[in-house]
Amino acid sequence: MSAPLQAADDDRIPSALPKEKRENLLKFLDQVKKGAKGGFILADAKVTSWVPHMSTNFPRVADEQVKEYLAAVIPHRATDPGKGPDRADVYWFRPNPRRGSPGVTVKRVVDLTTGKEVTDTAEVLLGYPAPLTREEREQAITLAKERVTAVRDLLREGNKDVILEVLFETVTSPKNPNGDPGDRVVSLRIRKKGQKLVAVNVNLTKQKVLEP
């Protein structure tokens, strides 16, 4: 089922949207959260692959085992700039319930004037480079802190003057040292004045931490 909509998710909502359309979008997000059903791969969804050579493993699981994280809201171009866009594409990333297998991105189109989905059929994208979600960022940091002492020391509570840079990629090449096609990899670069840079790569799909 979808992750609860947090107040902090507001930063995913384009600030330029008119107030009424912003409220309709939030209503739509809340409706999706409450009605997430259909297993890992939605029934009757259009499936599109973005990455060649990507292995697929779509487990049959109960709805409550499916997690869904808001990744991006991309408004369509407005025909009347004064009224703002009438529609927006909304992307959620779903990690695969089976560890080690790539997740999928679910795309829905919302009518911003009504707060309702434009069609009844969502699109499932395989290997799509959906932006890193807030939940994945926190997972990557947690894994790195658990498994790398230097990261844990730098990011311990109260440690000041620490700069954390977070980079992200969806693997597309079958020969990438960080993972297989479709894997989502977070690169953490942590530095503190006077100390050596600490760099780690976290493969979220396989739950592995790699030190370059």
State the average pLDDT over residues 190-194.
Answer: 91
Q: For 56-81, what is each residue's pLDDT tens digit?
A: 778 888 888 889 999 999 999 988 87
State the average pLDDT over residues 82-99.
Answer: 92
Q: Which pLDDT belongs to residue 160?
A: 86
Lowest mean pLDDT among 4-13, 92-101, 121-130: 4-13
What is the enclosing helix (H) or strand (E) of 150? helix 149-154
Distance CA 39, CA 211 (A): 35
Of the pLDDT bands very low, low, confident and very high (cuts 50, 70, 90), residue 21 is: very high
State the average pLDDT over residues 16-23.
Answer: 90
| Dihedral angle sign, alpha carbons of residues 122, 3, 162, 149 | negative
Q: For 121-151, what is each residue's pLDDT tens digit?
A: 789 999 999 999 999 999 999 999 999 999 9
State the average pLDDT over residues 28-37.
Answer: 78
CATH T-level assignment (fold) for domain 134-210: Nuclear Transport Factor 2; Chain: A, (3.10.450)
User: How many beta carbons lie within 10 A of that of residue 117, not counting itself?
Assistant: 16
Is 167 in a helix, a strand, or coil? strand
Q: At 147, phi and psi to the nearest 5?
A: -110, -10
Report the predicted TM-score, pTM, of the whole model to 2 decimal places. 0.87
Domain boundaries, the chain: 7-126, 134-210
pLDDT at 35 over 90: no
User: Across all residues in the chain, what is the average pLDDT?
Assistant: 88
Q: Which residues pair with 151 in a beta bridge?
A: none
